[in-house]
């Protein structure tokens, strides 16, 4: 997690005295900016997780596990689960099902058929999926220079998210399936047609707000660093200013 671009963009938005080296600003601001990034990204990640929990059922774990933090400090989703975010249209399933090696042919050789389990919900573990995302953010925050205090607070907040998830609702054992038969004699346009899914379509809005928050908060942090450096420079040039500076604080 590289926060240097946030600091540099913030520096560009203000007038820096010539006696202050921008590289010193970046070094001095890194920890505070990294701490802020961990907090804001955690909030956005939590928003995405809660959105998945509220809309998705057995696929919520798949969606959450596919979330990741991009190099640009946004919440991304792996291609394997992107269809849950972007959605997909209706499609006929008959040909795909009958292409299974388990499909059989009737005794008279005229019909191909397959017995398909339906109504079965796979085992899900949302708790573990959230723990995985917490570990990812902890690791990236640590590499980005965040303080251990900030990382510990983030971990504590994410544990609260986990504890607030009802085990009975989101930690489900696999249910017993029922069975149905798909056959080549059925009308493919009427039977075994998946209705499609509109998708969560939440990450664009989450990332738009995250980008604004990161930019605005970085400017506030960098401005404070520059103000402190300006005060320290004035004191070094004229120590008599110390009493004035203390009163101003």
Tens of pLDDT, residue by residue over 36-76, are 999 999 999 999 999 999 899 889 999 999 999 999 999 99
- 3-class secondary-structure state, position 53: helix
Q: What percent of the chain has pLDDT over 70?
A: 88
pLDDT score of 249 more than 70:
no
Q: How many CB atoms lie within 10 A of CB 29?
A: 25
pLDDT score of 189 more than 80:
no
Both 203 and 241 in a single domain? Answer: yes
In tens, the pLDDT along 214-245 reads 999 999 999 999 999 999 888 887 766 555 45
Both 116 and 63 in a single domain? Answer: no
Both 109 and 34 in a single domain? Answer: no
Both 184 and 142 in a single domain? Answer: no
- Domain with 154, as residue range(s), is 4-88+125-167+197-248
Q: What percent of the chain has pLDDT over 90?
A: 59
Both 143 and 154 in a single domain? Answer: yes
pLDDT band per the 50, 70, 90 thresholds, residue 134: very high
**Taking all residues of the chain, what is their mean pLDDT, rounded to a whole number?**
87
What HEC string does 186-236 produce? CCCCCCCEECCECCCCCHHHHHHHHHHHHHHHHHHHHHHHHHHHHHHHHHH
Both 106 and 37 in a single domain? Answer: no
Give me the number of domains the chain comprises: 2
pLDDT score of 196 more than 90:
no
Both 144 and 190 in a single domain? Answer: no
Both 97 and 16 in a single domain? Answer: no
Both 189 and 203 in a single domain? Answer: no
In tens, the pLDDT along 136-184 reads 999 999 999 999 999 999 999 999 998 887 544 444 455 566 888 888 8
């Amino acid at each position: 997690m590289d926060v240097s671009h946030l600091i540099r963009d913030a520096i560009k938005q203000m007038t820096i005295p010539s006696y202050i080296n921008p590289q010193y600003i970046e070094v001095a601001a890194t920890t505070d900016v990294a701490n802020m990034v961990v907090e804001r990204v955690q909030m956005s990640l939590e928003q995405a997780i809660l959105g998945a929990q509220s809309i998705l059922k057995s696929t919520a774990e798949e969606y959450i596990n596919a979330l990741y933090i991009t190099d640009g400090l946004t919440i991304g989703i792996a291609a394997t689960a992107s269809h849950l975010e972007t959605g997909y249209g209706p499609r006929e399933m008959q040909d795909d099902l009958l292409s299974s090696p388990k499909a059989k042919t009737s005794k008279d050789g005229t019909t191909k058929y397959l017995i398909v389990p339906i109504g079965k919900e796979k085992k899900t573990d949302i708790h573990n999926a959230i723990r995985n995302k917490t570990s990812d953010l902890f690791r990236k925050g640590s590499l980005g220079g965040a303080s251990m205090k900030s990382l510990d607070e983030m971990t504590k907040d994410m544990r609260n998210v986990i504890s607030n998830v009802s085990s009975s609702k989101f930690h489900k054992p696999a249910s017993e399936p029922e069975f149905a038969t798909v056959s080549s004699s059925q009308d493919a346009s009427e039977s075994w047609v998946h209705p499609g899914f509109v998708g969560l379509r939440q990450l664009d809005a989450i990332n738009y707000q995250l980008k604004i928050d990161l930019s605005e908060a970085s400017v506030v942090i960098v401005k404070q660093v520059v103000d402190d450096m300006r005060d320290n420079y004035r004191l070094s040039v004229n120590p008599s200013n110390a009493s004035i500076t203390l009163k101003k604080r």
